[in-house]
């Protein structure tokens, strides 16, 4: 996933799992010339929302092992990374990346949503798990769509 690669790059460049926010911004904007400083800050916000980064004691910490990520020399992230995506979109992207046909996944997820009476996000997570696709990083997002009594919101 290109967001994970873009987030990992500054950490790999500095050989660490923790960076000051300004170091992260400089790595993306000045060193790599991928984004403006403002766009780099936006990327931090999105990566934090998506659970790839955590703010810890005034620093940014990668929540995944950046050493497992390869940043190919020709890699240049697109500005689409700066747009928020729903949990459903993120799960669907993971499914497609694993070779599941998009239309097949959407149909199966919609069917599960109706059968289980849950949100589209929860249905997507259930489907992905059944397909053997690791989406563990999206579980908190899916859980947040449930009310305290376990019922889907809006039902």
Full DSSP string of 94-128: HHHHTT--HHHHHHHHHHHHHHHT--HHHHHHHHH
pLDDT at 119: 86
Question: CA-to-CA distance for 52 and 44, rounded, in angstroms?
Answer: 9
Instruction: Name the pairing type of β-strands 18-20 and 59-62.
Output: antiparallel
Positive/negative CA dihedral, 64, 66, 72, 73: positive
Residue numbers in the chain where pLDDT is lower than 70: 1, 141-142, 145-155
Confidence (pLDDT) at 98: 85
Give per-residue pLDDT as tens, 26-35.
999 999 999 9
Domains and their CATH numbers in the chain: 3-82 (1.10.10), 87-150 (no CATH)
pLDDT computed for residue 155 by the predictor: 42
pLDDT at 1: 58
Q: Model-level pTM?
A: 0.62
Residue 85 near residue 74 (C-beta atoms within 8 A): no
pLDDT at 131: 92
Q: What is the pLDDT of residue 109?
A: 94
**pLDDT the model gives residue 148:** 44
């Amino acid at each position: 996933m290109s967001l994970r690669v873009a987030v990992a790059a500054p950490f790999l460049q500095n050989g660490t799992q923790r960076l000051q926010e300004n170091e992260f911004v400089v790595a993306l904007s000045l060193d790599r010339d991928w984004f403006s400083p403002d766009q780099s800050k936006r990327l931090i916000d999105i990566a934090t929302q998506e659970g790839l980064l955590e703010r810890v004691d005034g620093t940014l910490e990668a929540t995944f092992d950046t050493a497992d990520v390869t940043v190919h020399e020709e890699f240049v992230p697109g500005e689409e990374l700066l747009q928020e995506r729903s949990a459903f979109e993120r799960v669907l992207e993971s499914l497609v990346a694993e070779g599941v046909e998009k239309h097949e996944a959407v149909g199966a997820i919609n069917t599960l949503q109706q059968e289980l009476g849950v949100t589209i996000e929860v249905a997507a997570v259930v489907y992905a798990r059944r397909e053997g696709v690791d989406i563990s990083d999206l579980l908190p997002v899916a859980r947040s769509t449930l009310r305290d009594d376990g019922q889907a919101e809006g039902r």
